[in-house]
Structures are given as structure tokens and as C-alpha cells.
Amino acid sequence: MGQRTVRFLNLLTRLRRSRCRPQQLLLLLPSCLQNSECPQKVISDTANCRRCGRCRIKDLLELAEEHGCRCAVVKGGQLALEIAKDDGIDAIVAVACEKELRAGMWAVFPKPSVGVINLRPSGPCKDTDVEVSAVEQAIRRFLR
């Protein structure tokens, strides 16, 4: 059910052909992407990431820099919603589980958002992963 809802909301955004400038695009990442043994606090500041490559945070931060978009790592949907609703944000690419994406995408609607469902090789909420190519595709769709 959750996956279908995320796909539907992604389709709505795609059909609207929403576009924005890079600095108005937010890449929103869950803290569970960070390696659970990492001592760095990327939630408070993404600049704290040492980019060791033990998790996808490094790749996603580099992707955000390459495209010039904003990036935030959050723990929990409420903080994600606060950041996403900022007036300076015109579009969102979010990575999370189906449940968080579904709730967040509905909450920010009609602001255009694309959700990329994370992979959970270690179970939910710990050491998750994501297909970086899917995130990049979503970013490029907004920046065309």
C-alpha cells in the first residue's frame, strides 16, 4: 500500500513537470542512512561527515554539491516537515521508508516532491541504503 502511494505521488509530481533552481531544491535524507557505528553527528550539520564511504551519506552529499541543491539529514518526520515547508524550498527529493515518505509527501502537498524508497538490508531504521542513481534521476528531473 505505501509503495503504491509513493509511486502515485511521484507520478503526480512528474505530470506537473515541476522545475526549480538548484538552491531551491532540497535533498532530504533520513539519519538511518548513516552507518550506525559512525561517531560523526551529521544530523546537526552535514559538514560533520568525514566522507569515509562506509555509508551512502558521502555519495548523497557529493550529489547535492554537484547539482548545487540543499541537503539535510534528519531524524524523524516532524523535523523533515519543518525543513521542507521552508519558503525557500520549492521542491523536495526525499529518501525514506514508505511510511515516512507517504506521510511527508502528503503533508507538503502541493509542494512538488519525489520520494525514493530506501533499502533496508539490516532491517528498518538502521544502516539503510538507497540507489544513488534513483536519487540523481529525481534531482535531474527537477533541474531540467
Q: Which residue ranges form the domains of the chain, and what is each CATH number? A: 2-143 (3.40.50)
How do the pLDDT tens digits run along the chain, 144 residues long?
Answer: 678 989 999 999 999 999 999 999 999 999 999 999 999 999 979 999 999 999 999 999 999 999 999 999 999 888 899 999 999 999 999 999 999 999 999 999 999 999 999 999 998 899 999 999 999 999 999 997
> What does pLDDT average to over the chain?
94
pLDDT at 78 (0 to 100): 87
Alpha-carbon span 127 to 101, nearest angstrom: 18
C-alpha angle 96-99-105 in degrees, rounded to nearest 5: 75
Q: b/e string for 119-129 if b means 16 or more Cβ within 10 A?
A: eeeeeeeebbe
Contact by Cβ (8 Å): 71, 64: yes
Please tell me the predicted confidence (pLDDT) of residue 1.
64
pLDDT at residue number 117: 96
pLDDT tens-digit profile of 102-136? Answer: 999 999 999 999 999 999 999 889 999 999 999 99
